[in-house]
Amino acid sequence: MPAFDASSILHGWINYPPVQFPKLWDWIGDEIIARRFTIPRVALDETGHRSPDCQKWLKARSIQELSPTQAVITRALAMKSALGIVNDQYHLNGVDENDLLIIATAKDAGCELISN
């Protein structure tokens, strides 16, 4: 099942807004309702920080949220180590803690991550 990253759903929301592309958003909404799209909870939270309207739209369609588990946190820590991130200096590597949690959550759930 595909899982949205905050960047991908926000890219669509900003560049292909529902008011201009209603059929696209109707289709995405139908896919969400049919539970064929999901989103890691961390990505949904990020979406709300950047566009409360987008997050509200996703929640109104009852998008399935993937919650981080202990296995997800362990996987994210392993990825952090593999990337050589030390002392939480994420900015030097182009990723941050949320990115690792989102990737680890999607991987743990067996989802394909749609990222911008």
Q: Which residues contact 18 (CB under 8 A, 6 or more apart)?
A: 24, 25, 57
pLDDT of residue 48: 97
Q: State the average pLDDT over residues 12-20.
A: 97
Q: How confident is the model at residue 90 (pLDDT cuts 50, 70, 90)?
A: low
pLDDT of residue 94: 65
Distance of CA 113 to the CA centre of its chain: 8
Number of domains making up the chain: 1
For the chain, the average pLDDT equals: 92
Could you tell me the residue range of the domain that residue 66 belongs to? Answer: 2-114
The Cα 27–Cα 79 span in angstroms is: 34
CATH number at residue 75: 3.40.50.1010
Q: State the average pLDDT over residues 19-25.
A: 98
The Cα 39–Cα 6 span in angstroms is: 8
The Cα 68–Cα 27 span in angstroms is: 27
Helix axes 52-60, 22-33, angle to 10 degrees: 50
Q: State the average pLDDT over residues 97-103.
A: 92
% of the chain surpassing 70 pLDDT: 94
| φ and ψ at residue 64, rounded to 5 degrees | -70, 120
Q: What is the DSSP letter of 16?
A: S
% of the chain surpassing 90 pLDDT: 80
Q: How confident is the model at residue 89 (pLDDT cuts 50, 70, 90)?
A: low
